[in-house]
Structure 1
Amino acid sequence: MERMHVNPRAGVVRDGTRDLAELPKAHLHLHFTGSMRSSTLLELADKYGVRLPDALTSGEPPRLRATDERGWFRFQRLYDAARACLRAPEDIQRLVREAAEEDVRDGSGWLEIQVDPTSYAPALGGLIPALEIILDAVASASRDTGLGMRVLVAANRMKHPLDARTLARLAVRFADQGVVGFGLSNDERRGMARDFDRAFAIAREGGLLAAPHGGELAGPSSVRDCLDDLHAARVGHGVRAAEDPVLLRRLADSGVTCEVCPASNVALGVYPKQADVPLRTLFEAGVPMALGADDPLLFGARLTAQYEIARRDHGFTDAELAELARQSVRGSAAPADVREKLLARVDDWLAY
């Protein structure tokens, strides 16, 4: 019979390996609509009479390949269809509460959820009301679940840079109400990073962390652009930096955290299989990483699954997995006392 050891701090250990769902960690790359449970999407679609694409109703993650324009359009169409089911404050409250519950189940002690409030403004009474509703939902979910939870406002690089400036000013306005960072999402092959430099300057001057996307669908140059033009403290994805040893050294020396999402890298066709995602290359180069789930609604894998990929497909030991968790905590915008507690809990997990 298989022996199992139960530890109130570290959960169940099987065959000498620790339970990764019990590993304390921070979650720094989770998109708002993409965090939704599939069951919730189906219920909301029924509530509002929304006819979803078959790919969202099959019960299996859709097959996607976003490395060409047609594939990215299909991914975006599915995301937009899901977002169309979020129409009322109670839908926002439910989505955020369930995202928090999923993160707690995965051992997360801190979550920074990323949202472009302009996408929800038409249904929620405008841009400011939309962000207020989202922040209220985050505060409520944090109180109810005990999860530290904040918001990263993200501009859309497919829109005009002036829109990004408006969002940056809005994000700064709400910096004392739960907004901790400013991002730039959507297809990184479109729109030059430097076009958004003023928006990021506004955000940084307002005390927000800069965390634009780069280095997934586009190559190492997009990561350099995030550093040079937007002064990124974190880079969403960043995995393609592994193709440039000089860039790897720069990321390691500067301590810029890459928010790496292995499941979505393969689901979007960036790499053929999990073993090809350069987690080991980044780790051994000393690049800080924060593993993230990106859009579990579409990719079918939440936070713990990303650590399981690192263990199963890349041979990460428990000590290395604990270091990945520490890096996620250090790269977060969590207050110092929250970081210290999480880091101590990581040590406890590893010490068992």
Structure 2
Amino acid sequence: MPGPFHRHRPLDRLPKAHLHLHFTGSMRHTTLIELAREHSLHLPDALREDWPPKLHATDERGWFRFQRLYDIARSVLRRPEDVYRLLREAAEDEAAEGSGWLEIQVDPSGYAQRFGGLTATLDLVLDAADQAARAQGIGIAVIVAANRTRHPLDAKTLARLAAQYAGRGVVGFGLSNDERRGRAREFDGAFRIAKRAGLLSVPHGGELSGPVSVAECVDDLGADRVGHGVRAAESRRLMERLADRQITCEVCPASNVGLGVAERPEEVPVRALFDAGVPIALGADDPLLFGSRLLRQYELAREVYGFDDAELAELARQSIRSSAAPESVKKDLLKGVDDWLTAPAEPAE
């Protein structure tokens, strides 16, 4: 435990990039409550008084409950102004925590019926992201994500949509949901479409399934980053491959504990991956369901995984380098990291 003279640099002033944040999951809990009230929607206790919900998704029943709560939360987004509010508040939260670049992940098919189709939904999200980014002075880009529990042809449809918006706010193509119900290799056609358009390949893997899931993301989908990827730590050879190819793992410690991937924060292998040379971008995943945002992940790195300020600065650099931010933005953020590290440390409260 730090002594009375312990000093450190404030983590909310450390410039960083946030690369693993889901659209609905970025919503503030207070906003969920208010929108449910406005739309006369009933929320279960797990999303009201018992929030954040107690989750354990390593079995099928647990994942179903997690997905059900996520779908209920999604249902409060009924009007375009709700989408603008969500992204405005997400940008405010990112800016407050030192995040200068956000890549937010959305599956437009989850909202298409409500907002006039896939294209209209993506247009709405992109416009809301642009307005929020300009208001807060940060960068926001969108990752279009397919659902691996649906047919690969649906993923191809989304990949073509994402490709049409490459260079116009969409920077990557992802694959989310329960990896035990859809192997990465089944979606290789969709990812080829996205890669040809110049989009980053950012599938989820190595969360609920083991190292083989990560390897498939790399070998079959040409992953530039892997969402989560923590199970790669179970294979030294795989970690060496990720390190050699500088493939980033978007590690979300609070989410891993919340879903039962690890029983305690101490069991999430952040230190093992970092020491093996695997680039890491810390992420909050779904703050609405796990109860903590990006800053808390950096606090865990300091308090639980023993990262000193120089290592925390390197974590921030890795997140920035792994992002799709323009080079000018990366340069400014990286300079901010250097400035943070050379500034005097402050007494801990």
TM-score range, shorter chain: over 0.9
Shift in Å at residue 49 of structure 1?
Answer: 1.0
1:248 aligns with 2:253: no
Query: SS of 1:315's equivalent?
Result: coil
Where does residue 217 of structure 1 map in the other structure? 208
1:270 aligns with 2:261: yes
> Matches of residues 10-21 of structure 1 in structure 2 within 5 Å?
15-21=6-12
Shift in Å at residue 175 of structure 1?
Answer: 1.3
Query: SS of 2:58's equivalent?
Result: coil
Query: SS of 2:8's equivalent?
Result: coil
Where does residue 197 of structure 1 map in the other structure? 188
Match of 1:320 among 311, 317, 329: 311
Where does residue 40 of structure 2 map in the other structure? 49
Match of 2:176 among 185, 188, 191: 185
Per-residue CA distance 1:199-225 (angstroms, 9 max, x = gap): 000000001000000001100000000
Where does residue 199 of structure 2 map in the other structure? 208
Where does residue 124 of structure 2 map in the other structure? 133
Q: Please list every run of at least 4 consecutive aligned residues from structure 1 whose deviation after the TM superposition is greater than 3 angstroms.
A: none
Kept in 2: contact 1:213–1:235 (CA 8 A): yes
Where does residue 10 of structure 1 map in the other structure? none
Query: SS of 1:177's equivalent?
Result: coil
Distance 1:125 1:183 in 2: 22
1:76 corresponds to which letter in structure 2?
Answer: Q
1:326 corresponds to which letter in structure 2?
Answer: R
Match of 2:17 among 4, 23, 26: 26
Q: Which runs of 5+ in 2 are unaligned?
A: 344-349
Distance 2:316 2:183 in 1: 32
Kept in 2: contact 1:38–1:59 (CA 8 A): no
Where does residue 338 of structure 1 map in the other structure? 329
Identity of paired residues, percent?
65
Where does residue 239 of structure 1 map in the other structure? 230
Distance 2:261 2:46 in 1: 20
Query: SS of 2:20's equivalent?
Result: strand
Distance 1:101 1:15 in 2: 30
Distance 1:319 1:351 in 2: 10
Distance 1:174 1:243 in 2: 37
> Matches of residues 273-292 of structure 1 in structure 2 within 5 Å?
273-292=264-283
2:195 corresponds to which letter in structure 1?
Answer: R
Distance 2:170 2:6 in 1: 42
Distance 1:158 1:200 in 2: 16
Shift in Å at residue 60 of structure 1?
Answer: 2.8
Distance 2:130 2:6 in 1: 39
1:112 aligns with 2:96: no
Shift in Å at residue 191 of structure 1?
Answer: 1.1
Query: SS of 1:175's equivalent?
Result: coil
Where does residue 75 of structure 1 map in the other structure? 66
Where does residue 52 of structure 2 map in the other structure? 61
1:342 corresponds to which letter in structure 2?
Answer: L
Query: SS of 2:202's equivalent?
Result: strand
Where does residue 163 of structure 1 map in the other structure? 154
Query: SS of 2:49's equivalent?
Result: coil
Where does residue 35 of structure 1 map in the other structure? 26
Kept in 2: contact 1:116–1:153 (CA 8 A): yes
Shift in Å at residue 192 of structure 1?
Answer: 1.6
Where does residue 9 of structure 1 map in the other structure? none
Distance 1:126 1:169 in 2: 14
Count, aligned residues: 342
Shift in Å at residue 59 of structure 1?
Answer: 5.8
Higher relative contact order (CA 8 A, sep 6+): 2
Distance 1:174 1:279 in 2: 34
Distance 1:300 1:182 in 2: 26
Query: SS of 2:178's equivalent?
Result: coil
Match of 2:217 among 226, 230, 233: 226
Question: Could you tell which deviates more after superposition, 106-115 or 56-65?
Answer: 56-65
Q: Which runs of 5+ in 1 are unaligned?
A: 5-13
1:180 corresponds to which letter in structure 2?
Answer: V
Where does residue 154 of structure 1 map in the other structure? 145
Query: SS of 2:140's equivalent?
Result: strand
Distance 2:49 2:29 in 1: 10
2:155 corresponds to which letter in structure 1?
Answer: A
Per-residue CA distance 1:3-30 (angstroms, 9 max, x = gap): x9xxxxxxxxx83111111110000000
Distance 1:202 1:152 in 2: 14
Shift in Å at residue 232 of structure 1?
Answer: 0.2
Per-residue CA distance 1:30-69 (angstroms, 9 max, x = gap): 0000000000001110111111111000163110000000
The TM-score, its normalising length taken from structure 1, stands at 0.96
Query: SS of 1:26's equivalent?
Result: strand
Query: SS of 1:110's equivalent?
Result: strand
Per-residue CA distance 1:239-263 (angstroms, 9 max, x = gap): 0000000000000000000000000
Where does residue 346 of structure 2 map in the other structure? none
Shift in Å at residue 176 of structure 1?
Answer: 2.6
Kept in 1: contact 2:159–2:173 (CA 8 A): yes
Distance 2:84 2:21 in 1: 16
